[in-house]
Amino acid sequence: MKHVTFKPVIGIVSPCYNEEQVLDETEKQLRNLIFDLVDRELISDKSFIVFIDDGSKDGTWDVIEKKAIKSVVVKGLKLAGNVGHQNALLAGLLTYNGDADALISIDADLQDDVRIIEEMIQKYKSGVDVVYGVRKERPTDTFFKRNSALLFYFLIKKMKSNMIPNHADYRLCSNRVITALSDFNEVNLFLRGIIPLIGFNKEIIYYDRLERLAGNSKFPFRKMLSFAWNGITSFSTVPLKLVSAIGFVIFIVCLFMSGYAFLAIFTGDTVPGWLSTVLPMYFLGGIQLFSIGIIGEYIGKIYAEVKQRPRYIIDKKID
């Protein structure tokens, strides 16, 4: 266990996509936080912040580049194209793992309260390898977003995943956790499921979710739905097992329907041919399409994994 006077090198990793409007304030708050923690001798003066530009279409990289050149604590990483939030975050974690004792990931919009970073570091200094930032409530979310999130966590729990409810990607990971993460070579990346899978000592810190400083959310409904589905299919085979279960249920239902149709023929209480033809056709056709879709999703993931294409390509790096 680490001694409490240990001054670790801490890296704050923040993926950015079209965050030009918010970066000035984000960099200011994180930089001031680093300086404050260094002055109070809680962390090493070699601690830093790294912003990862995930193929932004605005002036995000220009802002990052200027601040990285100007400030001793700011670093910049520019990816060759847009690879998505999870891959951009992974690029920052793996690239700077050797430069820090622990890395803290946080989104650039600063809806995650930076004031708990000090508590995260104290947990790490006491011997904890992973510290999860978990939101207490969702007061800024719409009714639909709040309840769809609850449904997602309910489903993911039923599928035997050890994912942390109401945790996004605000967390501290020690050097050995990131080193273990580097052994996960899967292309269908879902860090919120992988990090708990690694193990080691963990703690949870709860915080209140804040309003966005500026700009718009980069996760509209379509992307949130895609992200949730990717999380479910990347960490559970339950949907495939569900196909088998549905097939069994249909078999039982068809037995009862056959009995009903047989009786209806003798009672004359039916339109000839309708019950035995139209109803099963629509019912079975819909189930077949649903099942094929789920199987196709898994086949698509296998296809992506087999190709083993790089998850990100670094264009520029400013230290």
> Any idea which of 1-5, 61-65, 236-240 has the lowest mean pLDDT?
1-5
Domain that holds residue 244: 238-307
Cβ atoms 13, 50 nearer than 8 A? yes
Q: How far apart are CA 209 and CA 218, in angstroms?
A: 16
For residue 63, tell me if it sits in a domain. yes
CA atoms within 13 A on the CB side of 55: 12
Classify residue 243: in a domain, yes or no: yes
Indicate if 44 and 178 belong to the same structural domain: yes
| Burial of residue 73, with CB atoms counted within 10 A of its CB: 0-12 exposed, 13-18 middle, 19 or more buried | buried
Express each pLDDT in 109-166 by its tens digit: 888 888 899 999 999 999 899 999 888 875 555 555 555 556 665 665 655 566 777 7
Enumerate the β-bridge partners of residue 97: none
> 4 pLDDT exceeds 50?
no
Higher pLDDT, 239 or 108: 108
Taking the CB of residue 116, how many other CB atoms lie within 10 A of it? 18
Q: Given phi > 0 = left and psi -120 to 50 = alpha, else beta, which region is 199?
A: left
Cβ–Cβ contacts within 10 Å for residue 292, how many?
Answer: 12
pLDDT for the residue 3? 46
Q: Return the CATH number at 170.
A: 3.90.550.10
**Residues 151 and 267 grouped into a single domain:** no
CA pair distance 25, 213, nearest whole angstrom = 8
10 Å CB burial of residue 170 (0-12, 13-18, 19+) is buried
Tokens 């995000």 label which residue? 60
pLDDT in tens, 246-282: 666 766 666 666 666 666 656 666 556 655 666 666 6
Give the span between the Cα atoms of 95 and 118, in whole angstroms: 23
Give CA–CA dist 133/118, Å, rounded.
12
pLDDT at 38 over 60: yes
Half-sphere exposure of 261 (CA within 13 A, CB side): 16
Number of compact structural domains in the chain: 2
Q: Which two tokens stand for residue 251?
A: 């078999």
116 in any annotated domain: yes
Same domain, 208 and 269: no
Any bridge partners for residue 13, and if so which? Answer: 50, 105
Q: 56 and 116: one domain?
A: yes
Whether 250 is in a domain gets the answer yes
Same domain, yes or no: 276 and 201:
no
Query: Which pLDDT score is estimated for 199?
Result: 81
242 and 203 within one domain: no
pLDDT at 121: 93
Which of 187, 171, 213, 195 has the alpha carbon at shortest distance from 303? 187
Query: pLDDT tens, 14-37?
Result: 999 988 888 999 999 999 999 999
pLDDT, tens digit, 9 for 90 and up, residues 174-212: 999 999 988 888 777 777 778 888 888 899 898 887 776
* Residue 108 belongs to some domain of the structure: yes
| pLDDT score of 154 | 60
